[in-house]
Each structure stands twice: as C-alpha cells, then as structure tokens.
Amino acid sequence: MIYLPQTSKTGSNSVGYFFLILSFFYSNFLSAQQENGMTAVRSTLYNFSYIDFNMDFYKFASDQYLLSHTGNGTLQLSGQSFLNLEYNFSNSWQDNFSFMTMGDFSVTYTRNFYSKNYQKGGFQGVATSLKVILPTGKSKYLSGFDNWILEPSVYFGWKLHNHKNYIASKFRLNFPLATLPDAFPSIPFGRYEATFGYEDQNLWVASTIDNRLTLDHWEYNLLHKFELGVKLDKTNGVFGSTTNRIIGEGFYEYYINFGYYKVI
C-alpha cells in the first residue's frame, strides 16, 4: 500500500475482527478437514498454478479506512518460472465520506531455484521475483499505490526435519518510477520479512516480523503479521491474517485479510 505517515498509534480494534475470522476458519476446519490434504501450500517454494480471492481491511488513521477486493492468479510457465497477475478495487472512508475506485494492476515474474531437499527437511531453495505495479485508481480515494512501482525481491526457505515447521526470509526493494497526475512522488523503501510457521495436511499457521526502512530519511517501521490457513481439501482452502504496526508511524495502523485459494 501507499506509504502514508501517521500520528495515531496501534489500537486493539483489530483483535475483535481477527477472532471473528478465526472462529469462522475453525468451524470450516472441523467440518472439512481431509486425511490427505495438500502439504506444501506455504512451507516451501510453490510449484503449482493457483488462483485466490481476498479482502483486506486497512486502518490508516482515526478517520481513514480502506476495504480492498483482490483477484490474484499465478500461472506456472515452466518447471521453475511463474507469472502472477493481480488486480483490485477499493472502498474507502475518510472525513465522513465513502468512495469506490479501481486499485492497482500488478504483474510479477518469479523464478524458483529448488534445492535437492525440496519438500524434505532442510534448505528449500531460492525464489527471485520482479514485480511491476501499475496504479489505475485515484490516490485521493486511498486506491492503493499512487506511483508506478518496480519491486525486486529474493526469498529463501527452510523446512525443519519434522517437515512441518518452516522458516522463511524475504528481502524486497520498492522503487517508485512515476506518479499519477494527482499524486506526489512516493518514498522508496526496503523491506525484510522473517517468518516462522507450521504446516500439516490440514492447516498452516505463521508469524512474520516485517521490517521496513524508508530510503530517503531512514524512518523505520516494524509490523507483525499472524496468519492462519485451513485446507478444505487437496486443492481448496481459506486463509486469514492480521497485521499490526508495532514501531513507527508509516504505512498503516493495522490491516485484516481473509480469502479463498484454489490450486489449478
């Protein structure tokens, strides 16, 4: 999302939303768990095509909220390369007014380098990606990014020898290229995410520390994400997460996400 300096601090409002989502997922899990669910949705580099649909609720400041509706599809081009297409539209609320606007169109090319221990214990491999974000909405309506963005990233993954716990690291750089006509230039920033998670044939759960550093005046923001996913069968599942800002005043105060995925 757009970098938006804030003066408000993280509240506890997101907790209630998250536990509602958690209850929904848990009821689905009890009624739909499978003996032979898919075992490598999150804990390793993906090697399949999939689609997902999700909603994100953001709180920026006391009077700024955003609900983003996103469709996402990843197509496997070869044994190691993938193309991802993503588009969203948004509902926003600010200053006691509500708006709807188109959001961002994103294209990502990913190349995976699998290790010999892929889907076994140990190092899983490296994924390199290049993402281009094309804004199509109105920045004054909090549509998303208000600049054309280039975002290279590198991902490293490990599975512990029980094959269920995993560790992942991801480095990203976010470079604004050009602005929308009604927007100001965005601030470039670097990002490092460290994830520790658990995944079995029925579900996954993960905790991520998200470190972000703006590259012009070196402002640091720290966020924490908790994620839960439930596998309804071998190819379908639901997921949800909550992310809260712990340190800093940028980006957003918190956001809540939930969605559905299908492996194709």
Between CA 225 and CA 201 the distance in angstroms is 22
| pLDDT confidence of residue 205 | 98
Please check the confidence at residue 124 and state whether its pLDDT lies above 50. Answer: yes
Give the whole-number percent of the chain exceeding pLDDT 90.
64
| pLDDT confidence of residue 68 | 94
Q: What value does the mean pLDDT take over residues 136-151?
A: 78
pTM: 0.83
Give pLDDT tens digits for 93-118. 888 888 888 889 999 999 999 999 89
| pLDDT confidence of residue 39 | 66
| pLDDT confidence of residue 62 | 80
Tell whether 2 is covered by a domain. no
Q: What value does the mean pLDDT take over residues 167-172?
A: 98
- Which of 37-51, 95-109, 111-125, 139-153 is the least confident region? 139-153
**Band of the pLDDT at 136, cuts 50, 70, 90?**
confident
Please check the confidence at residue 19 and state whether its pLDDT lies above 70. Answer: no
Per-chain mean pLDDT for the chain: 86
Dihedral sign, Cα of residue 77, residue 204, residue 156, residue 88: positive
Give pLDDT tens digits for 63-93. 889 999 999 999 999 999 999 999 999 998 8
Give the whole-number percent of the chain exceeding pLDDT 70.
83
Give pLDDT tens digits for 194-238. 999 999 999 999 999 999 999 888 999 999 999 999 999 999 999
Please check the confidence at residue 127 and state whether its pLDDT lies above 60. Answer: yes
Q: What value does the mean pLDDT take over residues 165-184?
A: 88
| pLDDT confidence of residue 24 | 47
Total domains, the chain:
1
Please check the confidence at residue 17 and state whether its pLDDT lies above 60. Answer: no
| pLDDT confidence of residue 137 | 76
Tell whether 205 is covered by a domain. yes
Tell whether 212 is covered by a domain. yes
Tell whether 83 is covered by a domain. yes
Tell whether 4 is covered by a domain. no
| pLDDT confidence of residue 184 | 76
Most confident of 33-37, 89-93, 255-259: 255-259
Tell whether 5 is covered by a domain. no
Q: Residue 182: which domain range?
A: 13-263
3-state secondary structure 151-197: EEEEEEEEECCCCCEEEEEEEEEEEEEEECCCCCCCCCEEEEEEEEE
Identify the CATH number of the domain in which residue 152 sits.
2.40.160.40
